[in-house]
Amino acid sequence: MMYYAVYSILYLISLLPLRLLYIMFIPVKWLLRIYRYDVIVQNLSRSFPHQKYAWIKQQRKEFQNVFADFFPELLKVFSASSKSLGKRITVENTSFVKDYQQQGRQIIVCMGHCGNYELLNIVASRKEQVKNVYVTYKPLHNKLADIILKNVRERFDTQYIPVWEAKKYLDEVKGIYIFGNDQYAPVKKTSEEYIFNFLNQRSTFFPGVEIFARKTNAVVLYKHILRTRRGHYKIDFRLITDNAADCAEGEVIKRYAAMLEQNIEEQPSIWLWSHKRWK
């Protein structure tokens, strides 16, 4: 009962034009000016040590504007058609993705938390008419919020699977599997991690994507994301390897980390800087 009540309210609000939703979320934008201020500034300063403080402040401001727009754009997905949302996304280099799929290859797509990654994962597969698209995710602790968000995420045929079920699906089902794989700050040292110099810092990456890719000899792609203007994005698929099984250990993640770094340096404000990414 609670699910239908909450979903109905969010659906009705989502019927408003996106420009009005942006206005409704202006208070959120103001609150975000103080949200994890020190964390964001520290992450930016350490990642771009040669930049002046004025540049760091500008990037922080632009990031918080992008972050604030994340919520009304995701809310709009509750009711908007795939056609209307598709007009906001330009997707490049998809022909070779379809070719690999027609060859029956397993495809793994790596991406960072850049731009409105939720909107892009939800809409892109329908826009480009590719099938069997699976996005790995970590379910929310709040069961109601998790169910609502999962139903919205799956409106346009993209299927969301818990990250711990990825191995099972990869072993049994051919498809396109999307993994978010930013670097992270480890709680303790383990043998199951890769460490590279990333954004001028010693950074740790999970090896899971590479393990899956090498085991299934998957084609591995990077989803390069740019924000072209407010509410509009461009996706460019780039090849990491078409023969993961032959890559040396750590090579797939190393190439991915380099592409993610390039993406962030090209447009710093769209990456999720508010996480405590380094210890």
Task: Give 162's strand partners.
Answer: 137
pLDDT at 83 (0 to 100): 85
Q: What is the average pLDDT score of the chain?
A: 90
State the average pLDDT over residues 171-190: 79
Report the SS3 class of residue 134. strand
Are 55 and 9 spatial neighbours (Cβ–Cβ below 8 Å)? no
Instruction: For helices 2-14 and 53-76, give the axis angle rounded to 10 degrees.
Output: 110
Interatomic CA distance for residues 41 and 198, integer angstroms:
17
Backbone angles phi and psi of 267, in degrees to 5: -150, 80
pLDDT tier at 82, thresholds 50, 70, 90: confident
Token digits of residue 135: 């996005």
Q: Is the pLDDT of residue 17 over 80?
A: yes
pLDDT at 190 (0 to 100): 54
Q: Is the pLDDT of residue 85 over 90?
A: no
- What type of residue sits at position 94? T
**DSSP secondary-structure letter at 35?**
T
More confident site: 29 or 13? 13
State the average pLDDT over residues 83-102: 86
pLDDT at 188 (0 to 100): 56
pLDDT at 192 (0 to 100): 63
- Cα dist from 244 to 19, 44, 215, whole Å: 44, 33, 8
**Number of separate helices (H) and strands (E) present in the chain:** 12, 9
pLDDT at 270 (0 to 100): 96
Percent of the chain predicted with pLDDT > 90: 68
Percent of the chain predicted with pLDDT > 70: 94
pLDDT at 238 (0 to 100): 94
Q: Is the pLDDT of residue 186 over 90?
A: no
User: H or E stretch including 69?
Assistant: helix 53-76
Are 70 and 140 spatial neighbours (Cβ–Cβ below 8 Å)? no
User: H or E stretch including 239?
Assistant: strand 232-241
More confident site: 53 or 130? 53
